[in-house]
Amino acid sequence: MAMPEITVRGAGIFGLSIAWILTQRGARVQVVDPFGAGSGSSGGLVGALAPHVPENWNDKKAFQLESLLIAESFWADVQAVGGVDPGYGRTGRLQPIADGHALELAQARCDGARDLWQGQAVWEVIPAAEGGPFAPVSPTGFLIRDTLTARMHPRQACAALTAALHAKGVNVATEAPDRGAVIWATGWRGLSDLSKAFGRPVGAGIKGQSAAMSYDAGPVPQVFVDGLHIIPHANGTVAIGSTSEREFDSPDGLDAQCEELIARAIAAMPVLAGAQVVDRWAGVRPRARSRAPMLGMWPGRDGHFIANGGFKIGFGMAPKVAEVMADLVLDSRDAIPAGFRVDASM
């Protein structure tokens, strides 16, 4: 039986992950990206694989949970084949609790996590003294600790997927004609192109800035405080991010907002005071109009599919996104949640 041929356009986290699963299932895949692998928002610094709050459950949260739970085996397979460490670690997360009302909410969510996370992870309230050496300042003296959150170094992850695909005979080309079915995973520029093609806005690019500091915290939980992710990576850095800028002049320009992130991180985590800033990054992330990933068949364009809109949650969603897109393209089996469908963003 002949193997199906598929072209994946876009070599960010969605495109590379989909290409990987397709290849694993026996398809003949080519990946095409004029800018190279991980050159867009997937080449950033942060890499927080953080779950939604365990309450008001919906298809989006359930999909993300499944993806986070299969991530460890997904990345272990990638590393085993390609020989490159993706920087994955399910190290958990700490969050300071600001006041009495927030403490009540956090305690109520412990029961929600027990039911909704299927006993495979814990959300709990602990005294700040139990948070360890990399714990944030907490006004109440209590922290939320969860064991579902993981960290991923974006650049290492893209390099690991690229190496695994190469080991299977698949390389990232800067240009090539379409071959077989086509999956469009082309990031924020792709959302702009889709908006023009459909005659209505389906999403936009949101700029983000982030930084990395030289501080080897070890395999400790990451921190989320006041909208800021502070993530100890296995390479001896701590990533800090990120801004969310709807309007911008330069897609990759750095400015004072990045420095503000660093100052906020040090205020929340005094242990970072004096650590050297070793990298700064700015780029544009694709956010679909529905705020969920935009997945499925391209309406009116037979044999073409869309996988876009991984704004902030792309790395966490990627393993499951790859599975459902492979199901759709190879087997015509549609397991895409209603809120993720292309028409949900139209």
Indicate the pLDDT class of residue 38, thresholds 50, 70 and 90: very high
Going from N- to C-terminal start, the domains of the chain cover: 5-89+150-202+289-345
Beta-carbon count within 10 A of 1 CB? 4
- Considering only CA atoms, which of 253, 247, 42, 252 is closest in space to residue 156? 42
Name the pTM for this structure. Answer: 0.97
Amino acid at 220: V
Rg of the Cα atoms in the chain? 20
Those residues whose C-beta lies under 8 Å from the C-beta of residue 145, and which sit 6 or more positions away, are 92, 93, 94, 122, 123, 124, 125, 126, 131, 221
pLDDT in tens, 143-176: 999 999 999 999 999 999 999 999 999 999 999 9
Distance of alpha carbon 151 from alpha carbon 218, whole angstroms: 12
Instruction: For strands 142-146 and 93-96, give the pairing.
Output: antiparallel
pLDDT tens digits, one per residue of 297-342: 999 999 999 999 999 999 999 999 999 999 999 999 999 999 999 9
Rounded distance between C-alpha atoms, residue 212 and residue 113, angstroms: 31
Q: What is the 3-state secondary structure (H, E, C) of 260-280?
A: HHHHHHHHHCHHHCCCEEEEE
Residue 80 confidence (pLDDT):
98
Q: What is the pLDDT of residue 3?
A: 83
pLDDT of residue 2: 67
Which CATH code fits 5-89+150-202+289-345?
A: 3.50.50.60
Tell me: the pLDDT tens digits for 177-235?
999 999 999 999 999 999 999 999 999 999 999 999 999 999 999 999 999 999 999 99
Query: Does the pLDDT value for residue 1 go beyond 70?
Result: no
Tell me the three state secondary structure of residue 334.
coil
3-state secondary structure 168-222: CCCCEECCCCCCCEEEECCHHHHHHHHHHHHCCCCEEEEEEEEEEEECCCCCCCE
